[in-house]
Structure 1
Amino acid sequence: MDLELKGKKALVTGGTRGVGRGIVLALARAGVDVITCYRQEGDYVDSLERELKEIGGEHHVLRADIAEPAEIAGLLQRVRELYGRLDLLVNNAGAISHIPYADLPFEEWQRVLATNVTGAHLVIQHALPLLDDGSSVVSIGSKAVEAGIPLRAHYTATKAALVGLNRSLAKEFGAQNIRFNVLALGVVETENFHNMPEEQRTLMTERYSAKTALGRLGKPDEVAGAVLWLASDLSRYVTGATIGVDGGIS
């Protein structure tokens, strides 16, 4: 099915690994020109650049730390210079850690908040002049907001904040026909998942698959499918929503 996305311009933060990488590649294959960013150099950056070159299009993989306000401003300035507009913005860059709440250092609270909430807020603010009638903003959230997960209180709080931000922005910019939505993810198989020791990976697969209606974990390209839909005119009456991409997890 042709979603008529060819020639559209997108920014996906944190797109060299995991869910973000799946989104970047799916958009590129649909004919979207994509800019993404990374925090650290590495093989994932190099391999993504090669894959995007093979797909074809006007793609750019840039270095920017979404926890740093000055780097966000610089990233969006480059987007302005390279594209001049944005049809799609995906706030995917995120930070997570697993720490008992009683032992959570303030510095770690600040680190996760800076990336997951303040970073997303600043990316959106700087992107506003580039967004126009019909633009779509998608933030990657988590099913943890509904479920609550021990050792991740700080992470869950940031994802809950994204839901509130999203809902308010949908109301504020609805008259301009700019849409804001959140995708609440379940457990998705990414590189970090596959890098776990086999015993731990097997245990997690069995535990979380049993909790889902579909009886399995998700794939990055399945999250990308929801992003493609939200980027297209098929979802033009969808805004302010939090959409579960979680296999029916409970």
Structure 2
Amino acid sequence: MSVQSVHQFAEKVALVSDGEGEIGRAVALQLALQGCYVIVGFSNANEQTKSTLAELQNLGTLAHVVETDCSTAAGARRLVAEAENIYGRLDLLVNTLKFRSDSTFDEMSESVWTKTLDANLKATFFVSQAAVKLMSARPKAKIVNVVYDCAGAEKDLAFALAQAGIISLTKNLAAQLEPKFRVNAVQLSEEKSKAIENLDRELFRPPSGIAFDDVARAVLFLLSSEAVGLNGQVLKIE
């Protein structure tokens, strides 16, 4: 990333919708390293929340965490409202929301089906909806959605359908919101996703955890001026 694109992140307000997973955490840390003021959502505040906040603040930037349930419209609005209350603006949104089960097609219950769609597709939609209203006042607003390629996966059809829905949402928002917004996605292959999920957190901590940083760097690229010609695109990480 060029010096110019690094400097462009300084004092930008960035919202990472879910910091509970390692990818969301890595993205938040990379944004903080580039000088962003970072707000990170958590569905359940715990020791991990405190650890992530401490790491962000130790990087010398302003950082806050918000406990909320983004699978509801009210919870998503609360997350964005905190950004407005604290900073009065929002420049960048990265949706890293993820919930999946191990249910097969014939085993999946209605409750797991609903929870999976709510926690992935519905949450991404409502966070984006709330954020766009605040981001509209900012020049060069950008949204990046982190998605997973689950085509052919043996389990969790609901998760695969939710990911396809997020890709469709990405492309439609890109068309509807241009030229004021750029909306793109980073897509992990199923193999890459499983490898990241199986890494030991204590052994692979960003920035040394290359798997996490691969995703974070791809996200930062799409948020940077170097990706100015990209809108409605899906950047795949194999």
TM-score range, shorter chain: 0.7 to 0.9
8 Å Cα contact 1:134-1:236 kept in structure 2: no
8 Å Cα contact 2:140-2:182 kept in structure 1: yes
- Counterpart amino acid of 2:100? I
Q: Say whether residues 1:194 and 2:194 are aligned partners.
A: no
How many equivalent pairs are there? Answer: 222
- Counterpart amino acid of 1:90? V
Uncovered stretches (5+) of structure 1, i.e. residues with no partner: 197-216
In 2, the alpha carbon distance for the partners of 1:42 and 1:79 equals 21
Aligned to 1:243: 235
Uncovered stretches (5+) of structure 2, i.e. residues with no partner: 202-208
Q: Which has the larger radius of gyration?
A: 1
8 Å Cα contact 1:17-1:44 kept in structure 2: no
CA RMSD of aligned residues (A): 1.8
Deviations 1:114-144 (A, max 9, x none): 1111111111111112213311101111122
Residue pairs, 1:57-206, within 5 angstroms: 57-131=61-135, 132-144=138-150, 147-175=151-179, 177-186=180-189, 187-188=192-193, 189-190=195-196, 192-194=197-199
Residue pairs, 1:219-230, within 5 angstroms: 219-230=211-222
* Identical-pair percentage: 26
SS of residue paired to 2:161: helix
In 1, the alpha carbon distance for the partners of 2:56 and 2:14 equals 14
8 Å Cα contact 2:18-2:40 kept in structure 1: yes
TM-score normalised to structure 1 length: 0.84
8 Å Cα contact 1:73-1:126 kept in structure 2: yes
Shift of 1:74: 1.3
In 2, the alpha carbon distance for the partners of 1:139 and 1:245 equals 13
8 Å Cα contact 2:72-2:126 kept in structure 1: no
8 Å Cα contact 1:64-1:72 kept in structure 2: yes
In 2, the alpha carbon distance for the partners of 1:16 and 1:106 equals 25
In 1, the alpha carbon distance for the partners of 2:48 and 2:213 equals 17
In 1, the alpha carbon distance for the partners of 2:51 and 2:21 equals 10
In 1, the alpha carbon distance for the partners of 2:147 and 2:210 equals 14
Shift of 1:195: 5.2
SS of residue paired to 1:180: strand
Shift of 1:38: 0.7
Shift of 1:148: 2.2
Change (3 A) 1:55 1:70: same
- Counterpart amino acid of 2:141? S
In 2, the alpha carbon distance for the partners of 1:182 and 1:237 equals 14
